[in-house]
């Protein structure tokens, strides 16, 4: 047995057992006759299912495409080498068998001024530096940085955890497309066009009234956004449409010469949030060859009741911080404690609800175009997958629903790596032209 499997098997084995008999099983990877995926199946005793799920979880590369970080990440004040204080830490990654994290360089949308563009760039650079400080200075023996899919596979084979970088919100480049090349050199491997609020590149799915946003500004992707997509294709950066408006998403699927991703989105048909993807968008991403990373974000998996939304909004007003990424560890702890009380009163989305979204997407667009993400430390998490230490629970639920090992491998990262390689190939073609 290789060295990396010994500690991970021991940790995953400590997770709770499923103590129930399953119903008769179809052939691996196929749906039982007259039975939708999502219904329990199989003749296994719970402990046998648990053992099989553990073995699968150990063998596949488990990738989470969206994990937020604060500005002081990888410092004494926010040390990912310590177990507690964040949803994604190195110990929790080991406990849950989360192999790869796309740590996110996020900047919030503000008024578009020269001064704010400069601050957005500065904030992005602070986060790039923090991620490299984690892998290069603080814990190089535990986690390595991946610039390519080959790096991911090599570091994983060496028994290391893996970090790489995604950008959330094209506002971090302002109107300066040359920053994309700089960010790529610093390790960015996907580029989210928007966040909450329109920017110069594209319309957001959630306009900001306080910034003067109308429902639409560009009618989708702007001319500058089209140029940014072309530049991302040239450099080998995956284009990410999570948070983009429907028109922006459809434009991106048409404009990009390479497959695109939605790094953290859920299904609109199951939860009517503007942040989620309609069937038309899901099908367009499939036609583009891309992948949709279904997100375990409570409010996107299951739309909360009006009473719960009011309670959450009141908590946000009282929290004392403008964004999760800007919150101090003490503020996060206080928020989580207060939010837990709200969730006790109004139970939120569960792991089963989350996998329902995976099931829906797989049925609509196929197993080759669906993946998994958490949005941990950015508001993500739900009952059953509250942080990285519970990542194995997702695999167990997938096994319970009848997904084969090959299908689970695709969901947990195989599809994402395929898209990443396709994006690299387009960039290579651009360089050769």
Res 26 pLDDT > 90: no
- Rounded mean pLDDT, 304-309: 88
The candidate with the shortest Cα–Cα distance to 203, out of 173, 172, 234, 244, is: 244
Res 1 pLDDT > 50: no
Residue 208 burial (10 A CB sphere; 0-12, 13-18, 19+): middle
Res 22 pLDDT > 90: no
What percentage of residues in the chain have a pLDDT greater than 90?
A: 80
3-class SS of residue 130 = helix
Q: Output the pLDDT for position 324.
A: 67
Is there a contact between 89 and 80 (Cβ–Cβ < 8 Å)?
Answer: yes
Q: Output the pLDDT for position 54.
A: 98
- Rounded mean pLDDT, 37-48: 61
Q: Output the pLDDT for position 325.
A: 62
CATH code given to domain 62-301+349-396+411-432: 3.20.20.140
Contacts of residue 159, defined as CB under 8 A and 6 or more positions apart, other chains included, come to 2, 3, 4
Min mean pLDDT across 71-80, 192-201, 339-348 is at: 339-348
Confidence of residue 333 (pLDDT cuts 50, 70, 90): confident
Average pLDDT of the chain, as a whole number:
90
């Amino acid at each position: 047995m290789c060295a990396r499997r010994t500690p991970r098997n021991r940790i995953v084995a400590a997770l709770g057992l499923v103590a129930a008999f399953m119903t008769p099983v179809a052939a691996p990877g196929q749906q039982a006759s007259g039975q939708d995926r999502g219904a329990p199946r199989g003749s296994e005793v719970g402990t046998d299912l648990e053992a099989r799920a553990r073995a699968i979880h150990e063998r596949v590369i488990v990738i989470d495409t969206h994990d937020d970080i604060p500005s002081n990440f990888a410092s004494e004040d926010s040390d990912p080498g310590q177990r507690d204080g964040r949803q994604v830490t190195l110990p929790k990654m080991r406990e849950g068998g989360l192999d790869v994290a796309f740590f996110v360089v996020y900047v919030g949308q503000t008024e578009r001024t020269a001064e704010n563009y400069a601050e957005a760039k500065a904030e992005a650079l602070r986060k790039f530096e923090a991620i490299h400080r984690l892998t290069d200075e603080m814990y190089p023996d535990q986690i390595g940085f991946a610039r390519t899919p080959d790096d991911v596979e090599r570091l994983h084979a060496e028994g290391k955890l893996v970090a790489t970088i995604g950008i959330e919100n094209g506002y971090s480049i302002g109107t300066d497309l040359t920053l994309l090349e700089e960010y790529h050199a610093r390790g960015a491997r996907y580029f989210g066009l928007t966040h909450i609020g329109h920017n110069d590149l594209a319309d957001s799915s959630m306009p900001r009234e306080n910034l003067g946003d109308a429902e639409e500004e560009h009618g989708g992707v702007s001319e500058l956004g089209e140029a940014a997509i072309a530049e991302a294709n040239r450099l080998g950066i995956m284009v990410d449409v999570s948070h983009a408006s429907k028109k922006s998403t459809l434009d991106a699927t048409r404009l990009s010469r390479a497959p695109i991703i939605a790094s953290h989105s859920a299904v609109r048909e199951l939860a009517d949030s503007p942040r989620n993807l309609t069937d038309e968008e899901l099908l367009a991403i499939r036609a583009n060859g891309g992948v949709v990373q279904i997100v375990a974000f409570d409010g996107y998996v299951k739309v909360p009741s009006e009473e719960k939304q009011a309670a959450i909004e009141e908590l946000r007003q009282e929290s004392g911080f403008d964004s999760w990424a800007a919150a101090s560890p003490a503020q996060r702890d206080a928020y989580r404690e207060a939010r837990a009380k709200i969730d006790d009163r109004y139970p939120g989305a569960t792991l089963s609800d989350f996998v329902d979204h995976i099931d829906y997407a797989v049925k609509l667009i196929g197993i080759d175009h669906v993946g998994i993400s958490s949005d941990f430390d950015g508001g993500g998490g739900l009952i059953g997958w509250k942080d990285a230490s519970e990542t194995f629970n997702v695999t167990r639920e997938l096994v319970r629903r009848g997904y084969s090992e090959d299908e689970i491998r695709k969901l947990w990262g195989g599809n994402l790596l395929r898209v990443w390689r396709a994006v690299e190939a387009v960039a290579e073609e651009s360089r050769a032209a």
